[in-house]
Chains A and B, each alone.
Chain A
Amino acid sequence: MKSYNEIANSVFERREQYQIRQKKKRRILTRTLTPICCICLVALLAIGTWHGGLFEKAPIQTADDSVIQGEKDWYGPGEEVPQNNNFDDTQNDNGDKLGTIIYNNETYVQISTVSSDEITLDKKIGNGEDFEGFYKDSDVSSEIYTVKENPDLLAAKLDNGACVVLKRVTD
């Protein structure tokens, strides 16, 4: 039978062996867990980014997505824009009728509204109601001038001070 000293020595020796085993286990666990944690982290980041939509292509717009239901109003880079749109170029974005004038058998279409200071009015060729077109039946009285800077332009000077620039339509 062992004496108490032998037992004590044996107990402390076994404690040291236990501690060495525990350290080894901890080292193995740390060595295994570190790469696993890294992989998990990368996977989580990838999933997060994926859900965030970083890798997604721009959505293809369908007719249902357009502003006007049933009408496709956006076309992708590879898509062909249909040519037979019933687009009235005498109407602006607000639905207002664009000004037109027929002068010397040439059609002039409104391109912009500017202040009378921005262009130099040249020669008055008549009043708006003298010409076929928008200004003939308009409630707004106007005077039509040629424009010094460009012979293809006419200016309709409205009685509110604004000036509508019309450009000659060429074929």
Chain B
Amino acid sequence: MDNGASSYRRFLDGDDEGFVEIIKVYKDGLMLYLNNYVQNIHIAEDLMEDTFVRIVTKKPHFSGKSNFKTWLYAIGKNIAVDYLRKHSKISEVPADQLSVFLSDETDVLKEYLRDEQKILLHESLKKLNPEYAKVLYLIYFEDFNITETAIIIKKSYKQTENLVYRAKRALKSQLETEGFVYEEL
């Protein structure tokens, strides 16, 4: 599958199975990315589903200028931003539900990231500025380069490059305080 573009083309031609493939491949990554915005894995799951519903109902044109994953994550990001705008008041999660949320998130992380070291790295991202966490997630966990990240977060290449640099520095110092070493930093 060429990052989902051919599956999306099949879906536009009337084959729903094409879209099922897209959901299968991208659901976890998209959900974890959106979780960086809403800090609630269940809401992130709903937003991920909303992203797919938006694509299925509106059938937006995919030009192929960026890769399909970048395009999909950019749509997801817009939906998350819309959600945050509508729900500007941060709702407190009750303490009894918090443990459920955290265990669900850990399950998704384990299933999606598999690598224990990456899971620990993801945990450290949560302690960073949310802006840093978003770009670092895209770069370390979704393997996007700076150009693709810039497209998703709608910033210029230079701004994104600076943001990534500062985010990496912040993560490094965070990991050092936790006594954790990540060789890619």
Q: A residues within 8 Å of B by Cβ? A: 1-2, 4-5, 7-8, 10-12, 14-15, 18-19
Contacts and interface: CB of A to CB of B under 8 A. Distances in A.
A7 B56 contact: no
A11 B45 contact: no
Complex A-B, nearest 4 residue pairs according to Cβ-Cβ distance, in ascending order: A4-B24, A8-B20, A18-B57, A15-B56
B86 to A, nearest CB: 18
Contacts, number: 40
A2 B42 CA distance: 10
A118 B19 CA distance: 104
B49 interface: yes
Contact of B20 (A1, A4, A14): A4
Given A4-B27, A19-B57, 20 more contacts: A1-B41, A1-B45, A1-B104, A1-B107, A2-B49, A4-B20, A7-B48, A7-B49, A8-B19, A8-B20, A8-B23, A10-B49, A11-B23, A11-B53, A12-B16, A12-B56, A14-B56, A14-B57, A15-B53, A15-B56
Given A2-B45, A4-B23, A4-B27, A14 B53 contact: yes
11 contacts: A2-B45, A4-B24, A7-B23, A7-B27, A7-B49, A8-B24, A11-B49, A11-B53, A12-B16, A14-B56, A18-B57
Nearest to B48: A7
Nearest to B20: A8
Contacts of B48: 7
B59 to A, nearest CB: 10
B19 A11 contact: yes
Given A2-B45, A4-B24, A11 B107 contact: no
Main SS class of interface, A: helix
A8 B56 CA distance: 10
B76 to A, nearest CB: 13
Interface in B41-58: 41, 45, 48-49, 52-53, 56-57
Contacts of A5: 20
A15 B57 contact: yes
A138 to B, nearest CB: 100
Contacts of A1: 41, 45, 104, 107-108
Interface string B1-41: 00000000000000010011001100100000000000001
